[in-house]
Chains A and B, each alone.
Chain A
Amino acid sequence: MERNHKLYIFQITLGVIGLIFIVRLFFLQIVDTSNYFKALSYGSNEVTIYPDRGTIVDRFGKLLVYNDAVYDLMAVPEKVKNFDKVRLCKVLQIDTFDFNQRILKAGRYNKKVASIIYKSLPINIYSQLQEILYDYPPFFIETKIDRRYNIKGAAHVLGYMGELTEKQLKAEKYYKPGDIKGMSGLEKGYETYLRGWKGRKLVLVDKFSKQQGSLAGGKFDSVPTTGQNIISSLDLDLQEFGEKLLANKIGSIVAIEPQTGEVLAMVNSPNYDPNLLVGQTRSKNFGALLMDPRKPLFNRAIKAGYPPGSTFKTIQALIGLQEGVLHPETRYYCSRGFHLGSLTVGCHAHGSPLNLENSIAQSCNAYYCNVYRSILDNPKYESVQDAYIQWSKYLNSFGIGVKTGIDIPEESTGILKKPAYFEKEFGKNWRSANVISMSIGQGQIGLTPLQMCNLSATIANKGYWITPHVVKAIGDNKWLPEEFKVKHKTMVESRYFDSVIVGMARVCKPGGTAGRQGIEGIEICAKTGTAQNPHGEDHSIFIAFAPKDTPKIAIAVVVENGGFGNTYAAPIANLLIERYLALDRVVPTKRPDMLEKMLKANLVGAAIYNLLKVDSTLLKPIIPLKAQ
């Protein structure tokens, strides 16, 4: 019996060990999942599959932006060892020192994460590399996308792509070093829609041998989500025509479809060819554009606040009417200007007194000094300050002094001072006379070209506006954010717009301030403006919409140093309106004289002189600017 007893001891021991092993197995395989996930990452290269970024087309479906594949050689620095370096370097056409530097640099960022070793492989190197990469398991190629442009303009609307800074990379975990992201314009505003979502593929890699195909039959791979295509509201033809007209001038054009708020054109001059900011030359060109004194990267249309000049009279009239301090038949005398004590605001020669409609058509300064005084000195309000605050609220309801909310980033509010500003400037009891220059859109007021255009569109709509947007529809189901369908009512009732519109309709007719810039057969409602410019020649400004009764386009044009509103801004705006309304776009202009004059005009030299006080011919273009 003693013998059997010992056999039991042996067999119980076996049982206990079996139990221990199985419990341990259960712990390692079932309970502790960390081993499982480590296994996934250790044994594979995580290859990111970049989705196609959404393309951008214009409102008629013309392709503006598309993608091209670029190939980056990647490696996890930690895994890079034991390989034929000489052969690889020969294919990459770099020396081993350079190669080592690249590996070291990648390792400094993170040894365990795949980094770019060779960015944007030239196509010949790429194809050679594909044949030998089999022998280099830690290395793999990632196919990324870069933007390509079908056009040479619209750069500010579309925006550019760029690599993220280290700080941005930390904040936005989605991106890896070397990834590009929309940095301005539509590319930035709609980044999350356009980019889609990256996929990944875990490629099993042998530590010392060959790449061995997808891990676990692709069980852990994820398919990328393609970015959504975007239909822009831009009218490419109008955009390009605008760019042509504004070439060799400094300024901006914004055109909006009043009923929808869709931006038809947004032109800045100077601008740049978007093709400059792609691929390997991106950072070099970006630096050059940034340093260029003409500021080609500056999106004037949404960032620059210009004194609106006489175009501001339209809104002054509307506020006056709503406030009850002005009636369509109110007449004010003008003796070559407005005189109040020592204060004089000059005016040009015209018949006097004028009623409201004609005050707009002929742009009488004295008339609006009186209107503005009556608004600010309205006994309804306890003080000028209160009246000013109310007036500011009117402006805000037109999208002035606030951001309009356009879907491209970094929009400016323009300039609209708070009463405190004037208290500081003129003392606590400042009076309407202190701010009288604002009655004609000069002084402490600034509108972006976008806000000017929006004002025009609001008048065309007789009292409402829709947040301007450069995107017409997103994705396959043509979706548009709700915010771009909401009508913003102004504080001025619809009925007060008629007399202002009648006045505007006379501007481009004989006797109006742009009487010689009209186009036969189109009923254009407009207002000229001349913004005083302390640095040089005045800025030429023009807002308009047409046709009068069924407005299809609202437009604002600013030509810096262009002088009177009717000199440059009016002809450019009217030519654009003519082209837009002639839907087939082939009708020759009825004003070839005006077109020729606009195309020939060159104001850049003068502008540069004003800006830098140097002869522009001494400034060599760093990068050939568009249309130069």
Chain B
Amino acid sequence: MYNTREEEKIHIDWITVIIYILLVAFGALNIYSANSTPEHSSLFDFKTEYGKQFIWIGIAAIIVFFILLTDANFFQFSAYGIYGIILLLLLALLATGSFTAGAQAWFKIGAFKLQPSEFAKYATALALAKFLGTFDIKFIGKKNIMICFGIFILPMALTLLQNDTGSALVFACFFLVLFREGLSGWWLVLGLYLAAIFVFTILFPSLYLVGFILIICGIVAYFFKSHKQILYMCAIIFVASSVFIFSVDFMFSKLLQPHQQQRILVTLNQDVSEYYKHKATEFSLFKIDTKKKDEKKSKRDYSYNVRQSKISIGAGRWTGNGFNNGTQTKAKLVPEQHTDFIFCTVGEEYGFLGSALFVLTYLFFIGRLYFLAERQKTVFSRVYGYSCASIIFFHFFVNVGMALGLLPVIGIPLPFMSYGGSSLFSFSMLLFTFLKLDANRVHEINRM
């Protein structure tokens, strides 16, 4: 027993561990910056967010310690069990939610709020890895694909029902894992194409869009006149796209309530009045009654976050204002800065040089995880590794993209950095379970 652990310790990927420690520490620094005031500047003031974050970090260390002590086979063995428990917890939340005022995303245990959706990603990663690991085959059949989809769509749906859209979207990252495991890349392309069309339909008059696709298809068809297959493809793409555009347009313009429309528009960083303006043009099939644009105010609250976020990051210039000196940060002008908008603090206090270094470090970290995942000898470890890397990747991409104003405001935390116990625990578990599996790789080799 003693010997095995000794060997495992040697084989743990220290590069990843060091970056993990750096990210957690840097996160704590930024939370301190975002929340400390001259009156509350003591490091261990547990009434403050940063004080609490220190507690969470301590607990996370203990969790990590226990994970490293656990036998590597335990995770594969109990994957379905963990998955089942999380599903039950999510269901239980929905049930309590229906008793109380509205949908809730957490359990309250004493002073702590436990967010099962954070752990659901971990459980889903385990379950998916276990499922794919059971067939040690390269080809996944249609039926199995459906089961794979089911494994992550189930918790995704339950999370969505709690109105936690951001967390629900994260489950889409399992597509990436399936792509690695043999799912055709065309699925990803199709998914991206439909998402793009959906967004453009809302942003531009629908007839413009249809015309644009017609021109593109026409040009392609002209160059490949002799290839009948491509001609058919162009025709199918054009017809299918048009149908999709009109149905989206119809749903959006006619079926949704104005406030629902506005919410989506705001998520897309769109000026509501601009939308109504182009909806009133003759190039729109479904004209909107302009009297509907009453509830304009909600727009401001969403776009406010993005505007403030950009200002805050922009204030950093080359080298930033320095630790604990961000003016926007100190003024608490960006809402949710210590959680979802923690990147603003990085941008403002460490400037372009600091932020760029941070982005590169983080991407190196994720790249390292993909590299580790690829070198796994068992399908279970590999799938789990890809899941782990993809979950962190999706969070990073959406979170930073949102803070930079490139992506719609979707409230998901930046792993290891954002304030919050649930998120820190779940990401630490996710990561160290993988590192434990990776360290155990040697034994897998020996066993083989």
Contact = CB atoms under 8 A, between A and B. Distances in A.
A44 interface: yes
Given A25-B404, A39-B314, 8 more contacts: A4-B374, A10-B176, A18-B359, A18-B360, A30-B352, A34-B314, A35-B313, A42-B311
B141 interface: no
Interface string A207-229: 11110110111000000000000
A39 to B, nearest CB: 3
Contact of B359 (A21, A207, A212, A213): A21
A15 interface: yes
Contacts of A34: 314
B58 interface: no
Contact of B352 (A4, A25, A40): A25
Nearest to A205: B331
Given A21-B400, A215-B327, A28 B314 contact: yes
Contacts of B37: 206, 209-210, 212
Interface stretch (B103-111, B254-262, B278-286, B317-325): B317-325
A28 B356 CA distance: 12
Contact of B327 (A22, A24, A30, A204): A204
28 contacts: A4-B374, A7-B374, A10-B176, A10-B180, A11-B371, A18-B360, A21-B401, A22-B360, A25-B355, A26-B356, A29-B316, A29-B318, A29-B355, A35-B310, A35-B315, A36-B315, A36-B317, A39-B312, A39-B314, A39-B315, A43-B328, A43-B330, A44-B331, A204-B327, A204-B330, A206-B37, A215-B327, A217-B325
Contacts of B331: 42-44, 204-207, 212
A526 B152 CA distance: 112
A-B pairs, 8 with minimum CB distance: A35-B314, A39-B315, A43-B331, A29-B352, A43-B327, A18-B363, A7-B374, A35-B311
A480 interface: no
B371 A17 contact: no
Contacts of A30: 317-318, 352
Contacts of B356: 22, 25-26
A195 B318 CA distance: 38
Interface string A182-212: 0000000000000000000000111111101
Given A17-B363, A29-B317, A38-B311, A209 B370 contact: no
Contacts of B360: 18, 22
A30 B320 CA distance: 11
A39 B355 contact: no
A30 B353 CA distance: 10
Nearest to A26: B352
Given A28-B313, A43-B331, A216 B325 contact: yes
A6 interface: yes
Question: Chain B: interface residue count, which band?
Answer: 35 or more
Contacts of A213: 38
B347 interface: yes
A613 interface: no
Contacts of B370: 7, 10-11, 14
Nearest to B382: A3
Contacts of A206: 37, 330-332
User: Which secondary structure dominates chain A's binding surface?
Assistant: helix
Given A17-B397, A21-B404, A29 B314 contact: yes
**Which of A18, A21, A209 is the most central at the interface, judged by chain B CB atoms within 10 Å of its CB?**
A21
A349 interface: no
Given A15-B363, A36-B314, A43 B351 contact: no
Interface string B295-308: 00000000000001
A42 B310 CA distance: 13
B89 interface: no
Given A29-B316, A35-B315, A38-B311, A216 B363 contact: no
Nearest to A213: B38
B6 interface: no
A28 B355 CA distance: 12
B333 interface: yes
A209 B355 CA distance: 28
B53 to A, nearest CB: 19
B393 interface: yes
A205 B347 CA distance: 20
A549 interface: no
B184 to A, nearest CB: 12
B313 A216 contact: no
A29 B350 CA distance: 11
B330 A11 contact: no
A6 B385 CA distance: 14
Contacts of A10: 176, 180, 367, 370, 389
B95 to A, nearest CB: 36
A32 interface: yes
B179 interface: yes
Interface string B386-425: 0001000100010011001110000000000000000000
A15 B366 CA distance: 11
Contacts of A36: 314-315, 317
B39 interface: yes
A20 interface: yes
B333 A43 contact: yes
A29 B374 contact: no
Contacts of A11: 367, 370-371
B310 A216 contact: no
Contacts of A205: 331
B192 to A, nearest CB: 12
A398 to B, nearest CB: 64
Nearest to B371: A7
B38 A212 contact: yes
Contacts of B325: 216-217
A29 B347 contact: yes
B359 A25 contact: yes
A240 to B, nearest CB: 55
A15 B360 CA distance: 9
Contacts of B312: 39
Interface string B345-376: 00110011001100110010011001100100
Contacts of A25: 313, 347, 352, 355-356, 359, 404
A598 to B, nearest CB: 68
Contacts of B176: 10
A267 to B, nearest CB: 56
Contacts of B401: 21
A210 B331 CA distance: 9
Nearest to B181: A6
Contacts of B39: 210
Contacts of B327: 39-40, 43-44, 204, 215-216
B230 to A, nearest CB: 25
Nearest to B176: A10
B76 to A, nearest CB: 21
Contacts of A39: 311-312, 314-315, 327-328, 348
